[in-house]
Chain A
Amino acid sequence: MCIYEDQIGKFDWRQTYVGRIKFAQFDTVSTAKKIIVATEENVLAALNLKTGQVMWRHVFESASSGDIQLLHFSDGDKVTTVTGSNPYLVRGWDPTTGVLLWEWPISIIDTERAHLSEWWVQNGMLVHLLPAFGSHLEVTMYNLMTGSNRGATSKLPTVWTNDGCILTPPYYTCISGNMGNYMLLSLDVTSNAVQIISKPLSNYFSEGEVIEGNLRPLDGKTSQPGFIIDDKAILLIKNNEFEPLNVRLADQSASATFIDAISGPMLVQAWSDENKGLSITAYNIATNTEITDMQMSGPKINIPEAELLGVLCINTAREQPAYRILLNGADDAVHLLQQGGRVVWSREESLANIVAAEFVDLPVSETDAALESEFDQKEAIKVYSSVWAAFVRRLHTQYQQLHTLIQNLQGEGAVLDTPSPLVRDYFNLHKIIVLITDVGKIYGMDNLSGEILWQRYDGNLNTESVVMFTRRSARHPPHDAYVTIIGKHEETGNGYVISLNPIRGTLVGERVLRLDVRLLQVALLHTVDAEKLHALILLDEDETVQVLPVSAAPLVRDLYMYVADRETGRMQGYALKYDGRQVIAQRTWSLNLGGAGARIVTIAGKSRTERVHSAGKPLADRSVLYKYSNPNLLLVVLERPDPTHKDVVTAVAVDAACGAVVAASTHRRARALPLAVHSDNCLAYLYRSDKHRRLEIATMELYEGNERWLPAGTQFSSFGCARAPSVERQAYIVPASLTALAFTSTEKAITDTHLLMGLSTGMLMELPWAYVDPRRPMTLSGEPREEGLIPYAPELPLPAEASLNYNRTVQRVRAIYAAPSGLESTSLVLATGLDLFYTRVAPSKTFDLLKDDFDYHLISIVLAALIVATYSTKYFASRKMLKQAWK
């Protein structure tokens, strides 16, 4: 790989994310105003207040040891975090640079109750509260910087506590008592004297109201301890007294916070309604008036289930103070709003959790489409009855082309800033990436710029095992491209199908379809219907088949499906057939791969777009080693505990059409990783060797041998060959820990395939298949040398030059997606994880492309000079001839 310094960012981009925000604190004291955030992805970061960009970021462990329990920041102070889950780590960070200042651990002896811990910072002390419901509260105070304990843990006897209690520092508040006779109790746990505030709950409700007794604290960083009862009444605690507010919660789902503005303490509420959109109200407590300039409502901004993360009140030179409202949505997007409802910036944090991605071709431009249809043979016969009609058509198109050319020339100077139209470029390098995120938000992203073109949030979509199919590419004008997403319904678990146009993000065809059954398997029909659409075949729980659209049912022939149970390792195959009325699924095979107690870790099938270019490999003796290219092959990696060998990993290559096992191998004392790839006749999977405590990659190649089984050109059939291919096997040590694995893919598969690996260090590596080729010989002499095989070395080389993302670390790489471009040499690569990284790779170098720094000027000057020289010598030669003739 390797690029030059001036090529940085030319074909690649990186986007950094932090994940769904859990805590946010404004920092307005530093010169660069920022928001310090802690997220559910265990990231601590500082976002620029003006732009929303990440200023610094710390990514903690993704396991529970990285959980952020507390984020504390008060103006002029340091940022404090408590992370982990027993033992906890208390760390201090510099707010401007993000540098770690101090760190000390706390471990709680009572491990069973440790998860109930509550933390907050008060007067430079870290307070830890551990409740024992119905008995007492344990309060411990530590010096924030050093961790030294001020005194012993104090135990406050509180028999009235229960698991519905909440903490609004420093008060611990509970509702206790029986239904209809509730008492509201609150206790300042840090004061030296134990003073319990106790009031009947009915004091704060009008008579006849049903009191359920649910407590929830105010959101964000409140200036006064306060809470909400039953999503209705709001109470503050002032001077050790409950103080009910005159205003009630504006909406059941409203999120409320309490801030100190210049004009007095203020209650801000925000809620969203499906029809009315987002509403924000502010209420001045001191003057009992609504603050009108902060009020906004309207369907302009639609934030699903908006939640206030914080409100900032900035004193400006003018009299009106400026407000900044930070809102979190159910779609994980975070928005910073000004008063009046203008969005200062938004961050799409759900992109930190991408579950599926697909590259979609762009449509050709209108003129190109016209040209294509003109020269389309079938179309031509239909339309042109005579030569004259064709001639007229040709003239018309040429006039159109001229017209657009003139338009382009005119428009070039005027409108340069309009975004480039979404049409296919010459090399088909410009595509749209459709991304599905964990929360159910779907994005369309421009692959060249990384810009989000459209987005759609569907709270009903459960993306647990979501699949996406491109059912029609944009190659068939006038039909639009068509992408279908099949997931589960959030509540019922039934099938949920969303069909959309990937270019514009609008719903098309079946739109949003709620099925009333759970789905077992989904496949795309290999043949297209009259509208060039691939039908969707859904196999449901009752083994009945649905075809979308229904009109495509007669096209179902020779279709096979498999269903694998992850937990038991059982696999079943179905043959689907149209019997004249409907499509029926017949169970044809079932296997019990891995034996009893096995669990399927991963299944790798072939990519739908894959092509096989050559049927074999030429050997040194000029014979051909024919590949076993079974398009129905699956690689199944299973794992199971074994009484004698701890854990056993079994890898099985199965023909999914007829259910025959093609090859299988086991690894003893190993744990499988969910990383397996499969392309053509090459299979690779990773496992962790417990015996040697290292990561290893096992590779397999399947060959028919020196003779072809079937005559050239015949279609492979899974039902016609019971012969077993010969299997080449090898294993290599991977000197890194991998989190993602993929093959590059090119349009015609002439280019080499390389392995793309995502490392836990945040590197993306490109490794030629030749290095993991199972045919690497131990000693290099004679034939293997002539064939160009590399001599065997047990450890794989991972040189820094093989890194795709140079110094742009991609945190927590989860998956790598590769897609072919129109250039045979080039494959487009997207790595997802906490960050997104896009680049393009050329596994066999850019053989079909001029170099990036090709000197066009030099070659034109040389050409021009040559032409000039030719004509001048011609002239001089004729003069000389003339002179000689005169002599």
Chain B
Amino acid sequence: MHLMFIFLTIFFHYVACLDYDGWMNIKVDHSLNCASEKYCKRGTITLKSIRAGTAIIDQIPFNRKHIKELQELAELDGFYTIRTLVSTAEGKEIEFLSSVKAKGLLENGLSDIISAWVLPSGEVIAVTFQVMNSTQTNALNLDSEYPINSDFYLRHVDQAPVPDTASYIQKLEREREAREKGELKDNRSFLAKYWMYIVPIAVFVMISGAGNPEGAAQPSR
């Protein structure tokens, strides 16, 4: 039995949203091919630093028995259930449960997406397993071992925005300043400001005034 390692590095914009850094260890159990217990080991996910978010995923590959059981589940459109036990530096072990459709997992060639949500205090609130809805089916080659491809994402519950009063006041002040500036600049005389409107009107009046005497003269005839 050989182990597979996947190293994933995720860069975060919100590194600062975590109060304290710490380690995290996720034990992944599943309900496939377990002898007597309900859940047996599938693997572990270890994070040296939650802030860095680099995860070491260590999972036991599926064997034929696993696949057979999974296929049986898929026929019934059943669920493949995964239990995770998360332990961090400060808290006790927290249990999470998540399920994916067995059919979906098989169609995707045993690849799933694991996302863990972390509060700013470093506590984990959810570990969810999902499969992508991909149309290409990875044909399972008939080896004795089928490796599981898991992508791990650590997602942070970030701070919600607060009503942004400061920038709104700044904006109002900028607008006021702009208005004041505009008023200062524009202290030209009335004629200087509006000559472009006055001239055409004057021209129009002159033209119509020139035409008028003829019209006025008509009725006297």
Contacts and interface: CB of A to CB of B under 8 A. Distances in A.
B163 to A, nearest CB: 4
B169 to A, nearest CB: 9
Nearest to A774: B161
B162 A593 contact: no
Contacts of A590: 95-97
Given A590-B97, A778-B167, A721 B133 contact: yes
B6 interface: no
A651 interface: yes
B33 interface: no
Contact of B163 (A721, A724, A779, A794): A794
A512 interface: no
Interface in A646-676: 648, 650-652, 658-661, 664-668
B126 interface: yes
Interface string B121-141: 101111010111100000000
Nearest to A793: B168
B101 interface: yes
A696 interface: yes
B126 A666 contact: no
A379 interface: no
Contact of B81 (A588, A648, A733, A794): A588
A325 B143 CA distance: 90
Given A588-B81, A668-B159, A795-B163, 8 more contacts: A575-B99, A589-B98, A592-B94, A592-B124, A651-B160, A719-B101, A729-B161, A792-B164
Contacts of A589: 96-99, 128
A585 to B, nearest CB: 12
Interface stretch (B21-29, B61-69, B111-119): B111-119
Contact of A642 (B95, B115, B121, B164): B121
B120 interface: yes
Contact of A650 (B99, B157, B161): B157
Interface in B144-173: 155, 157-165, 167-168, 171
B19 interface: yes
A661 B161 contact: no
Nearest to B168: A794
8 contacts: A575-B99, A588-B98, A644-B19, A652-B157, A659-B97, A659-B126, A666-B120, A731-B160
Contacts of B100: 658, 719
A794 B164 contact: yes
A590 B162 CA distance: 31
A731 B115 contact: no
Given A590-B95, A591-B96, A665-B158, A696 B126 contact: no
A838 interface: no
B133 A698 contact: no
A720 B132 CA distance: 6
Query: SS class of chain A's interface: helix, strand, loop or mixed?
Result: strand
B91 interface: yes
Contact of A595 (B125, B165, B167, B171): B125
Interface string A432-467: 000000000000000000000000000000000000
Name the 7 nearest CB pairs between A and B, nearest first.
Answer: A720-B133, A722-B130, A665-B160, A588-B99, A595-B123, A794-B163, A590-B97
Given A589-B128, A594-B125, A731-B162, A666 B157 contact: yes
A145 to B, nearest CB: 49
B39 interface: no
Contacts of B115: 660-661, 722
Interface string A567-607: 00000100100000000001111111111100000000000
Contact of B161 (A591, A595, A730): A730
Interface residues of B, number: 41
A71 to B, nearest CB: 45
Q: By CB atoms of chain B within 10 A, which of A572, A651, A719, A721 has the most? A: A719
B53 interface: no
Given A720-B104, A731-B163, A591 B126 contact: yes
A732 interface: yes
B98 A719 contact: no
Q: Report which residue of A648, A666, A698 has the largest number of chain B beta carbons within 10 angstroms of its beta carbon.
A: A666
A261 to B, nearest CB: 67
A658 B161 contact: no
> Which of B19, B115, B119, B131 has most A Cβ within 10 Å?
B119
B171 A666 contact: no
Contacts of A148: none
A563 to B, nearest CB: 12
User: Size range of the interface on A?
Assistant: 35 or more
A692 B172 CA distance: 21
Given A664-B157, A721-B133, A729-B160, A779 B171 contact: yes
Contacts of A698: 160-161
A717 interface: yes
Interface string A721-749: 11010000111110000000000000000
A722 B167 CA distance: 36
Contacts of B99: 575, 588-589, 658-659
B113 A722 contact: yes
Contact of A665 (B19, B79, B81, B157): B157
Interface string B34-68: 00000000000000000000000000000000000
Contacts of B117: 661, 664
A354 to B, nearest CB: 32
Contacts of A586: 79, 81
A722 B94 CA distance: 23
A659 B163 contact: no
A347 B101 CA distance: 56
A441 B119 CA distance: 44
**Candidate in B81, B96, B131, B162 with the most chain A CB atoms within 10 angstroms:** B162
Interface in A781-835: 792-795
Interface string A88-115: 0000000000000000000000000000
Contacts of A644: 19
Contact of B158 (A658, A661, A666): A666
Contacts of B161: 698, 729-731
A671 to B, nearest CB: 14
B79 to A, nearest CB: 5
Given A644-B19, A666-B159, A733-B163, A588 B125 contact: no
Given A588-B99, A719-B104, A778-B171, A661 B125 contact: yes
B38 to A, nearest CB: 11
Contacts of B96: 589-592
Contacts of B123: 595-596
B126 A593 contact: yes
Interface string A166-194: 00000000000000000000000000000
Nearest to A654: B126
B119 A650 contact: yes
B163 A588 contact: no
A98 to B, nearest CB: 41
Contacts of A648: 121
B163 A696 contact: yes
A608 to B, nearest CB: 25
